[in-house]
Structure 1
């Protein structure tokens, strides 16, 4: 996925949490397969690590508990209790915030997670909406449009295969809960989400594993034509994703699949470069375009300030507090301010979708 690949460079929370959840889930599945104290200890340590990255990592032990409890036998009670004990102990040890008052601070963190106090808005389906007012289908809709289309199709196939047979397999049930439980929780709690679905990246591995189940079901089919068609489609889409990353780096984060529609629709309907990565390119262009030693620029988003430090000549630029006192206006279109086309001296586009521009204002 170009989106996940891009976030792996700079997203220090959501991408890291996804990795933590993968590792914790792997060892929790090993514990479920063979519930012994040693495996409970290892799984508990990695679950604690996931929780300390972001508290939503608690979903891993919750899912493990839900999978194990229906078929819990007497010989599994002790390992399960040791698993829970390990998580509690190592979460406390690895999370300094809890050292003074564990119960109070953990509860505060959990409540903060449920209703994160963030004033950011997001552009979704052509409307600018606050992060705490998003519709219930926000996350699945974003996923459907920003994940390579073959993964989406194979996911649907995987879900259908799960419904064809009873969910009595530990691995299968774990995957379903990995994807569904967090999704249903944020919908039920009406949690604050913004900037795409990055806060929910940790369910993507579950999505992928369900997709692989769908692929396996198709490959086990006796219809050779269908198998050849699906394999060809997967390779073509994989090649498209790799080529997209190579062509549009470092802006491959602005990735939409064919289900999103045309370029004009994407530009007007969704938040694009919400990280403001494009600002570095805008500053670097302006440094070459304008030879003066002091260039007054106006920016109206925080990433515009942070990216200035990473530009090749930060000393040339003077940030102003208004467009009136500036030579240029730099934007990633997050604020909604768009000037006349005649004032535009430079733009950055990804696959025809404009994500940033420099305007000459004075």
Structure 2
């Protein structure tokens, strides 16, 4: 068998080996790199969320149970008094439970395990995107391209190790969209139940996952009478009711906060999530703006400057191609491909337009809308596919399309090389902005990962038995202290105002620091962007 035949769309052997190698190597890459990243701003509080919910579960056990009296729970808040209990706790509970089973309970071990688990869930999302792309384009190679583009998205790759909220939600949302396509293709009670559980998983990570119920309703309405086999009225009712029952049951089972209160509390949780009282500001286009005063273009601009340019352009081409095809085929929902295209458009544009119109609270870039990114990549593949077809035509378009594809491949290769250069700060990737421009106009290391590198440098270059450190806000300093080896943690002391070393990050601080902080003895760079300075005071 020739290589071309082995890699054809119909080659079972080629698909098995190539796909297996892709995901196998990706898993090995995750194992190799998961120890390289610092601890992000939210991770300690996310851990506390898991502890709070597990403490509540333990309270249901007999009083004689040892776990109920575990020392950790003595300082853990009660779920009724925990201000962040409205955040979906399912992933956090799983991480805490696995930590108790598989580690030595040291904070360093916990964060290493946590980062590996976040990447594992991210891997599930990459697989779900592969399956979605394979189904939509009827070719596993296009599906694998969509997955590869997600891996070669620098910010997502980095956050795929430590962002237990947005990336984990992206993964489960993508999985739910895949189970929805399976349900719409061949409706059955089994597939309805599976999709209901997938929807519940997403909601148990972020309450915004309830929009999957709306997507499902739209999909079932479009598929009514048109599925293979046809979806009729009585079956539609049975499928819909079972789906809703599985969603409700799954959400309640994975969210102990709702056990304490009631199911209507979910509505209050949704309102709180939309109008989250975040009191800080965002650096956007060189101005520090409160979250309530962000302009309508905040999300689109952040997307443009952080997504590789070929992906954005290809997605725009794909959407334009779909618009052209939609005008030729009316009504669009009469075909399975058309119905799926409608859902993909809603997935990508619906949440973005909603945020722009309702001024929903967002901050720290566009991370709250990361879950729309797989849809953008699917449209990017659609655009690439269309340009590839032009490359097979005659005339000038053939030459132009092939030049465009070559340029896109080269730029994607350059993105991959930049990922290697930026490691482990791929979260500081800007698609086309020069470093000095990005420093002045956009927020830098808002996750606080660079503090780990700053602390490690201080410990390696100061032999004192006790080393004192200070910073403006202690949270990222404390978080990254927890991932250091125990002997190193024992040497460091947080001493406000009079410490020997001052770690100066550039979140909310686009300008340089004053000389009064001391002598700048070390700088952490992400490419040509300065993200942390270490000052020595005496």
Q: Against the structure 1 CA distance between its residues 60 and 296, is the aligned structure 2 distance closer, same or farther, given a 3 Å change threshold?
A: same
Within the alignment, does 1:247 sit opposite 2:421 as a pair? yes
Give, in whole Å, the separation in 2 of the partners of 1:6 and 1:89: 34
Aligned to 1:291, what secondary structure does the other structure show? coil
Matched, 1:320 2:480: no
Deviates more, 1:161-170 or 1:75-84: 75-84
1:307 to 2:480 alignment: yes
| Structure-1-length-normalised TM-score | 0.93
Displacement after TM superposition at 1:236 (Å): 1.6
Q: Are the aligned partners of 1:35 and 1:80 in contact in 2 as well (CA < 8 Å)? A: no
Shift, 1:71, TM fit: 5.4
Residues 92 and 288 of structure 1: is their aligned pair in 2 closer, same or farther, counting only changes over 3 Å? closer
Name the CA shift for 1:262/1:335 in 2 (closer, same or farther; >3 Å).
closer
Aligned to 1:78: 238
State how far apart, in whole Å, the 1-side matches of 2:399 and 2:180 are: 38
1:138 counterpart (298, 309, 334): 298
Counterpart of 1:204 in structure 2 is 373
Deviation sequence 1:14-64 (CA, Å, 0-9, x none)? 110000001000001111222222211111110111111111112222112
Tell me how far apart the structure 1 counterparts of residues 274 and 340 of structure 2 sit (CA, whole Å). 28
Match of residue 96 from structure 1: 256
- Higher mean C-alpha displacement, 124-133 vs 143-152: 124-133
Q: Which residue of 2 aligns with 1:333?
A: 506
Contact 1:92–1:102 (CA<8 Å) still a contact in 2? no
* Equivalent in the alignment of 1:188: 357
Q: Determine helix, strand or coil for the equivalent of 2:429.
A: coil
Which of 154, 160, 170 is the matching residue for 2:320? 160
- Aligned match of 1:126: 286
Tell me if the contact between 2:443 and 2:508 (Cα under 8 Å) persists in the aligned partners: no
Give 1:224 deviation, angstroms.
Answer: 2.6
SS of 1:237's equivalent in the other structure is helix
Instruction: Please give the alpha-carbon distance, in whole angstroms, between the structure 2 residues aligned to 1:267 and 1:107.
Output: 39
With 340-349 and 54-63 compared, the bigger mean Cα shift is at: 340-349
Bigger shift: residues 54-63 or 222-231:
222-231
1:235 to 398, 406, 409: 409
| C-alpha contact (below 8 Å) 2:471/2:504 kept by paired residues | yes
Give the deviation of 1:266 after TM superposition.
0.5
Question: What is the CA–CA distance in structure 1 between the aligned matches of 2:492 and 2:253, rounded to whole Å?
Answer: 46
Distance change in 2, residues 1:216/1:146 (3 Å): same
Runs of at least 5 residues in structure 1 that lack an aligned partner in the other structure: none
From 275, 280, 289, give the equivalent of 2:461: 289
**Deviation at residue 159 of structure 1 after TM alignment:** 1.4
More displaced stretch, 214-223 vs 153-162: 214-223
Q: Secondary structure at the match of 1:99?
A: helix
* Counterpart residue number, 1:12: 164
How high is the TM-score relative to the length of structure 2? 0.64
TM-superposed deviation, 1:215: 1.1
SS in 1 for 2:506: coil
226-235 or 42-51, larger mean C-alpha shift: 226-235
Per the TM alignment, residue 203 of structure 1 is displaced from its structure 2 partner at its CA by: 0.7
| Residues 32-71 of structure 1 aligned to structure 2 (within 5 Å) | 32-70=184-222
**Residue aligned with 1:318, SS:** strand
Between the aligned partners of 1:70 and 1:22, the Cα distance in structure 2 is 20
Aligned partners of 1:119 and 1:65: how far apart in 2? 36
| Aligned-partner Cα distance in 2 for 1:164–1:203 | 22
| Correspondence for 1:345 | 521
Aligned pairs, number:
358
Cα deviation code 1:252-289 (max 9, x no counterpart)? 1100011xx32211111111111111111111111122
CA gap of 1:99–1:342, structure 2 versus 1, over 3 A, is closer
Residues in 1 aligned to 2:284 and 2:170: alpha-carbon distance in whole angstroms: 24
SS in 2 for 1:321: coil
Larger displacement relative to structure 2 (329-338 or 239-248): 329-338
What is the CA distance between 1:106 and its match in structure 2? 0.8
